[in-house]
Structure 1
Amino acid sequence: MIYLADIRNWLKGFNIADYYYSGKLDANKEKAICVYQRKSTIEAVRAVGGKSSYNIKPISVLIHWNKNSTETEKTAYKLYEQLEAVSSFLLNDTKVYFIKLLQSEPISVGTDDNGIYEYVIEFDIYYERK
């Protein structure tokens, strides 16, 4: 099983943000990334005759950066490109087969109430079921 905290900790290895969160963002902190479980319409993965050998974790990553739209956009693209380059790897003791990015680029979601620009990257993590 993969948990949001596992993904948050994995993203720290990309060395992009000053702060990393899972489940809830501290909106008072700039240059932060938060990992959420995306609401998904993915059906449970089932194989004929039992469990399948893999599962899917739907993820949404919020890049909550600063009041400069260009810096925020560049940071979102930097993370997107790093995710795009990922191939199979171990996340704790779980084998991740691949990451499927759901949009062709990070999505701007405007600013929060404090004028901080934000982007979202959505993806599915395909991982080995144990």
Structure 2
Amino acid sequence: MIGLADVRDYIATLSLTKDENVYSGKLDNKKDKSIGIYNLKQNTGARICLGGLESTPYRIKPISILVHWNKSQRDTEKVSMQLYELLQNSSKIQINNEKVSYIKMLSDEPIDVGTDDSGVYESVIQIEIYYER
């Protein structure tokens, strides 16, 4: 099974920012150049193939990634696109010893969500991680 903290650990290995600036569940104190990993809040229901669980070859982990970067829209967009492309082009990876089949990008590019109260630009990347059961 892949948990939120496992995805956080994987994103940290991509070295876009310091390990201590990658969070799961909550982005504490919102340091500049931080990345937050959250469960994607969507209700799609359980995905079980005909024949039950033994006939269901994969699971899906829906994730929302918040890139909280700095006061430069250009810098924030650049690092968000780097992360997006790393995820989109990932292959033959494992997260928490689970074989990832692929990562489905849920939008064509990172979603610009403007700035926080401090004027730091943010963007969101929404993905679904398909992995073997």
Normalising by structure 1, what TM-score?
0.94
1:58 aligns with 2:50: no
Percentage of matched positions with identical amino acids: 49
CA shift at 1:128, angstroms? 1.2
Kept after mapping to 2: 8 A contact 1:45/1:54: no
Alignment of 1:69-84 (within 5 A): 69-84=73-88
Q: Name the amino acid aligned to 2:74.
A: T
Name whichever structure is richer in strand by fraction.
1
Aligned-pair Cα RMSD in Å: 1.0
Alignment of 1:13-92 (within 5 A): 13-18=13-18, 19-51=21-53, 52-92=56-96
Q: Which runs of 4+ in 1 moved over 6 A?
A: none
**Residue-by-residue CA offset, 1:49-104 (whole Å, 9 max, x unaligned):** 21112111100000000111111110101111111111232112211110000100
Contact 2:30 2:68 in 1 (8 A): no
The equivalent of 1:6 in structure 2 is 6
The structure that is helix-richer by fraction is 2
Cα distance between partner residues in 2 of 1:22 and 1:39: 14
Amino acid at match of 1:50: G
Unpaired runs of at least 5, structure 2: none
TM-score by structure 2 length? 0.92
Number of matched pairs:
129
- Structure 1: tracts of 5 or more residues without a match: none
